[in-house]
Chain A
């Protein structure tokens, strides 16, 4: 068993309005960062996972996302796994 660092990035579905992102964009514009286009706000989770291999860690993390960490109706996610 080895330890893996799993990073999960959860983002609101591209087709859904993201009011948080819009508010951040307006605030950035107000600060003079007029070059900022679309802003979207998501979540970043970092998990310490025990597994036999990197693939197993990835498979477990995917199961965690599908069951709990992301809601398939409203969110998309992607994963990055590296040895801890």
Chain B
């Protein structure tokens, strides 16, 4: 069982869904309040979606200085998996743990609707159970979702396969190169604008996001030499 810390900031709203999705996948998931300084031996850290600090100044700009972020950065530097979803992605960019930044949607509207993303990289702790080229239906809910970076950084991301998900069919927010999610050079820190935790069961309209959470458990199980064929009643390929 992977220990999954879901960090809660004032204004987080995807924390409960994220915790539920991680538990559904078989992980031992728990909340960590942003004022804590200890991740309680987490194997995986998730920064959930929401509107930390009301998106004041810039989305994620204030949350990145929360006390827990020192521990999150330490976990990331040590190679520990970190996933930022939506506002969590914005916080990771603001913290410099991921390259680039997220700015206002190109067409000015807050968007809450399904999107389609193609899995571009499967060598991350959160996409290792997908096939490259899989197209997933996962919803977005953001106003500041347009991923931008300078040309050199974007070229570098493309060259080193750090674009993890890319919007297909349409680009909802005008992001550079249709980017929906990226990882760092070491590939252990991953950010995604859509919400995989909102598509992890048929009752939610689909389960295209479920393998993000199963991946954490499968990876953990592999590392701990446990039988990974059945995790939470599901058969997994690793």
Contacts and interface: CB of A to CB of B under 8 A. Distances in A.
A71 B106 contact: no
Contacts of A19: 104-108
Interface of B: 57-58, 61-62, 65, 93-94, 100-101, 103-108, 146, 148-150, 174
12 contacts: A19-B106, A19-B107, A19-B108, A20-B108, A68-B62, A69-B57, A71-B58, A71-B94, A73-B93, A73-B148, A74-B101, A74-B148
A82 B157 CA distance: 43
A71 B100 contact: no
Contacts of B104: 19-20
Interface residues of A, number: 11
A17 interface: yes
Which DSSP category, helix, strand, loop or mixed, fits chain B's interface? loop
Which DSSP category, helix, strand, loop or mixed, fits chain A's interface? mixed
Nearest to A70: B58
Residue among B93, B94, B104, B105 facing the most chain A CB atoms (10 A cut-off): B104
A23 interface: yes
A17 B148 CA distance: 10
B60 to A, nearest CB: 9
Nearest to B64: A68
B147 to A, nearest CB: 10
B89 to A, nearest CB: 13
Contacts of B105: 19
Given A17-B146, A73-B101, A74-B103, 20 more contacts: A16-B103, A17-B106, A17-B174, A19-B104, A19-B105, A19-B107, A19-B108, A20-B108, A68-B61, A68-B65, A69-B57, A71-B58, A71-B94, A73-B93, A73-B148, A73-B149, A73-B150, A74-B58, A74-B101, A74-B148
Nearest to B107: A19
Chain A to chain B: the 5 pairs with minimum beta-carbon distance, closest first: A73-B101, A74-B101, A19-B108, A74-B103, A19-B106
Interface in A27-73: 68-69, 71, 73
A16 B61 contact: no
Contacts of A73: 93, 100-101, 148-150
A5 B93 CA distance: 30
A13 B133 CA distance: 33
A12 B103 contact: yes
